[in-house]
Structures are given as structure tokens and as C-alpha cells.
Structure 1
Amino acid sequence: MELNLKKAIFIGLACYVLAGCSSNPSQQTPQNVETEQVQTTDVLDSVVDALMTSPHLELKQTDDETLLIEFPSIQAFSFDGSRLSHELQAALVDVSQALMHIPNLRVNVIGHTDNLGNAEYNQVLSENRAKQVADFLRQQGFNPMFLTTAGYGPAHPIADNRTAKGRAANRRVELMVSF
């Protein structure tokens, strides 16, 4: 998976570099483009290494341009709460430090809830959770123009909502990162 992840990130960065090069071709030479691609590869390697070594998160490549970042070992939120746990904050610091080097990176923060309570309330709660995470990422230096939020309520559980442990796992946030 690490090779596919590096490939996805590299493709996104290469597109960014090449788009910049094609927008002003009079200032770019083939040698400059090659140099930028080598620098991009160095940044890519450090980003992937940083993300892969974090004990707080799990990476999944969803397609060639999107990376899903999950926090499976963290109880992100308390019951009926949208305040970030200290563990989640530490994990988000790891993520922000690794991703801040990539220009025009897009992050969609997705909040989830367990299935206790009514659907309308859970929808609002999941949106609030996503907004709290996005606010934290902004405080870490993320450009607000590249952060979006969404709430899915209890619609996408990852564990059994019939158990306390399952409900705790479903109270979570995910980051969809586009390159």
C-alpha cells in the first residue's frame, strides 16, 4: 500500500507542478521542470514517511487522487459531544505537520455519530464534530480555502451500534485528502 500511496501523492503533486509550469511556459525550461519534480518527490517521501509512522492513524487509498485518513484506535469524541479528545488533537497535529508541505491540498473533514438519539440531532452533531476538527486544523495553519466539512450522522457505522464499544468507535471523524 505504501507504494500506491506514494504514487497517488506524487501524481497530485506532479499535476500541481506541471499546471504551474504550463501556465507560464516562458519562465520554465525542461531542466527547471525536472528539478521541481525531484524536489516534489523529496517532499512526497517525507510526507508519506511522517504519516506512515504515526501510531494514531490509518491510511487508505480510495482512488488515484484521494486518501482517506482514519483514527481507529482513538476515542475521538465523548457521547453527545463535539469537543476533540486529547488523543485526536495529537493525531491531528501529526497529520497537519505532514500535510502542510503540499500546496493546494484539499481536505474534507467528515463527522460521524452513533445511532442513539434522533436522526436530525445526530446529523447536526456530526456536522459540529467535523467543524471542530476543521477549526483545529485551521489553528495548525491549514488554509481555510482548502478545508470543507460534512456530517453523515449515523449513516456509515464502522462498528456494531448495539454495544458501547461499537458506539464509541462510530463517534469519529475522517479526513478525505485530495491531491
Structure 2
Amino acid sequence: MHELIGLQLALFLLVLTGCTNNYVALLEGAQRGGSVEVVPGAGEPLQLERNGQVALLDSGQVFAVDRQQLEKTFAAVLRVQPPAPLRFYLYFLDDGKRLTPESERLLARMKESLHQREPAIVSVIGHTDTLGDAKVNERIGLVRAQRVAEWVKAEKVEIRYLNVTSHSEFNPLVPTPDGTREPRNRRVEICIY
């Protein structure tokens, strides 16, 4: 689940099983350039490349359906789709330990959002810039993420699942050469599902 969301695909797949038909529909919200390959139990892979395309798995047909027909056909499932994850980026000062003033304010909004999504699934990822040794940066990213995770736990919100990890310097917001100080890369990314 996290991998799809981590790639920021606003893609929603819907599989419905009827008496004789199996469908996969690419619904609105898919990223530009995004596509889905559907591999039926038997037969050739089917490619869905545009919003509104539907693959009929039993026959291997791919066809377009207008928005109105999609909404009518898939209304029950569309009503229960989960809300999009909430993302927050907290940035750190040069000392690497204290949040920037803007991030301090954002922290309050993040805490409010936790209460709105209770019971929440939360992902906390620490990041660093490329200044310093990669192994040290791995630890720094993890320490930052663990600190934010402690703030999450302190909210006394029911957490269904909490994942805490470090991407260190290897997933920069701003790509830089090694050994570069970049404040926008010194961050913790929080996703609340």
C-alpha cells in the first residue's frame, strides 16, 4: 500500500466480480502518463492507459466508458473509497534537531489530522541532505523520524499501524551532488491514512 502511495499515484483500481464478468477500471485521478497492466488468468496482458478505460477480463477487451457510465456502474464502490492520504513535511534547522518555525506550526495541523483519521495508519520517513557520511545520515534520518513518531504517539490517538523508517540522503526532494547542504532535504515526511 505504501509503495503505491509513496509513488504518489492518484490511481484507483476497482475490481468487481459479477456472475460472469470481471472488470478492472482506471478511474479519474490517475497521474498523467500512468498506466496499469492487467494480466488475466489466461490470455495476453491488457493495458489501461487513460481514465475511463475498462478491461473486460473474460473476453480480453479494453474499451472506454464515459464518466457518467462509470459513476453509475461503480457507484457503490466509489462511495466507500478511502480518503486520500494526508501528507506533511516537517523541516529541520541547520542543527538537525529543531524544527523550523513554519514546521512547528505545521506540526499542530498534523496533530489535528491524526485525530480526524482515528484509527490512523501513519508512515513517518526521515530524510537528510547529502552532507556527511551516508551511514551517519541514515542514523540522523531515523532519529528524526523516531522523534516525530514520539510526537504522534503522544497525541493519545488510536494508531492502527505506525511505520518509522529512514530514507537518509537517498530520496532527496532537491537532487544535489554528494556533500551538499540542502535545507529542503532535511525533513520528515508524515503520511496519515
TM-score normalised over the length of structure 2 = 0.50
8 Å Cα contact 1:82/1:132 also seen in 2: no
How far is 1:101 from its partner? 2.7
Alignment partner of 2:143 out of 125, 128, 133: 128
3-state SS of the aligned residue for 1:116?
coil
Higher percent of residues as helix:
1
- Structure 1 residue aligned with 2:186: 171
For residues 88-167 of structure 1, the aligned pairs below 5 Å read: 88-143=103-158, 146-162=161-177, 167=182
3-state SS of the aligned residue for 1:100?
helix
1:103 maps to a residue whose letter is E
- Aligned residue-pair number: 118
8 Å Cα contact 1:111/1:130 also seen in 2: yes
The whole-number CA distance in structure 2 between the counterparts of 1:106 and 1:144 is: 6
The whole-number CA distance in structure 1 between the counterparts of 2:92 and 2:134 is: 18
How far is 1:95 from its partner? 1.8
2:87 maps to a residue whose letter is I
How far is 1:66 from its partner? 5.9
How far is 1:143 from its partner? 3.8
Aligned: 1:69 with 2:87 = yes
> Which protein shows a greater Rg?
2
Structure of greater relative contact order (alpha carbons < 8 Å, 6+ residues apart): 1
Higher mean C-alpha deviation, range 78-87 or range 145-154? 78-87
The whole-number CA distance in structure 2 between the counterparts of 1:126 and 1:91 is: 19
The whole-number CA distance in structure 2 between the counterparts of 1:66 and 1:98 is: 12
1:31-89 deviation digits (Å, cap 9, x = unpaired): xxxxxxxxxx9xxxxxxxxxxxxxxxxxxxxxx67625143xx6x11235233333223
What root-mean-square deviation, in Å, do the aligned CA atoms of Structure 1 and Structure 2 show?
A: 3.6
1:1-28 deviation digits (Å, cap 9, x = unpaired): xxxx9x9xxxxxxxxxxxxxxxxxxxxx
8 Å Cα contact 2:120/2:159 also seen in 1: no
The whole-number CA distance in structure 2 between the counterparts of 1:160 and 1:149 is: 23
The whole-number CA distance in structure 2 between the counterparts of 1:141 and 1:132 is: 16
